[in-house]
Amino acid sequence: MAQTDQEILEGLAEIVNEETGVEAADVQPEKSFTDDLDIDSLSMMTIVVNAEEKFGVRIPDDEVKNLTTVGDAVKYIQNAQG
């Protein structure tokens, strides 16, 4: 069952917090993973793998580079859950 944007955002925030220590409240749709949240490529890959498991979606490596903001990731997961 597809989840709402808010549910996906909360789940992503939890994953980002566990991986990087960034406060979940700081993980907002307009935030850039690299610029605002200071997430490096290695942490990003771990976040992607955890998001795939949590949300039951597949995020190909060539798509990860297009997920520059938290909002991009939320939209991608929502569409992938279809």
Residues 6+ apart with CB under 8 A from 44: 33, 34, 64
Told to judge if 62 belongs to the known catalytic residues of this protein, a careful annotator would answer no
Given 5, 35, 38, 40, the catalytic residue = 40
What is the Cα–Cα distance from 64 to 29, expressed in whole angstroms? Answer: 16
Mean of the pLDDT values across residues 50-65? 96
CATH code for position 35: 1.10.1200.10
Q: What is the pLDDT of residue 11?
A: 98
Q: What is the pLDDT of residue 82?
A: 80
pLDDT band for 2, please (50, 70, 90 cuts). confident
What is the Cα–Cα distance from 46 to 4, expressed in whole angstroms? Answer: 23
Mean of the pLDDT values across residues 41-69? 96
Q: 10 Å Cβ neighbour count for 40?
A: 10
User: How far apart, in Å, are the Cα atoms of 8 and each of 20, 39, 72?
Assistant: 18, 19, 11
Q: What is the pLDDT of residue 45?
A: 96
Mean of the pLDDT values across residues 20-32? 97
